[in-house]
Amino acid sequence: SAPSKKGSTASKSGSALFAPNAFVQIEPDGVVSITVPRPDIGQGIRTSLAMIVAEELGVDWSKIKVLQAEGDGQKYGAQGVGGSGSIRGSYEPMRLAGATAAAMLKQAAAEIGGGTADSCSIEGGIVTCGSKKYAFKDLVTRATQLPVPPRDQIRFKTPSEFKIVGKPTKRVDN
């Protein structure tokens, strides 16, 4: 089922699945899946677009699953390839997908542990708020109950904060 205005839908087990948008899903056990909307025809786009989402989300790159989206332009936006436009056309939406999920996970951590989302950080799939640390799986249930924040409330990382984007990375399909 498609995500609602909140960040939830049902997982295969029937438990809450954190899915604040069409590109990011976090299972109750903390497994992170990134859905790539454009097909890879040899240019490495499945890896590149997933890296963009993972960067903003703050997840450990080695622990994600990359999924290929089905053909659905309503859900995923432009899905064609050609003219070297995949990164150019998808960079902003993929950053937004990861950063939105990260904002909601920080909010969930702040609500569970006290404090503010702005005082929380994410690195390697761990949300840190003050002295408290939370794995994504610890936050999924609370995050599914939160409204998806509007675009103007989302903060993107600066290039100096990048740990994944711009780094040599083995392709996910090799």
* pLDDT, tens digit (0-9, with 9 covering 90-100), for 2-24: 444 666 555 555 577 999 999 99
Which residues make Cβ contacts (< 8 Å) with residue 31, sequence separation at least 6? 63, 65
CA distances from 163 to 64, 105, 141 (A): 15, 19, 27
Does pLDDT of 139 surpass 60? yes
Specify the pLDDT at position 86: 87
Beta strand 32-36 with 24-26 is antiparallel
Among 14-23, 108-117, 130-139, name the one with the lowest average pLDDT.
14-23
Specify the pLDDT at position 11: 54
Q: CA angle, corner 143, sides to 172 and 15, nearest 5?
A: 75
CA distance 68 to 127: 27
**Residue 42, number of CB atoms within 10 A of its CB:** 7
Mean pLDDT in residue range 83-96:
89
Q: What are phi and psi of 127, to 5 degrees?
A: -95, 125
Round the average pLDDT of the chain to a whole number and report it.
90
- Provide the 3-class DSSP secondary structure of residue 82: coil
- Provide the 3-class DSSP secondary structure of residue 100: helix
pTM of the model: 0.90
* Element (DSSP H or E) covering residue 91: helix 86-113
CA distance 94 to 83: 19
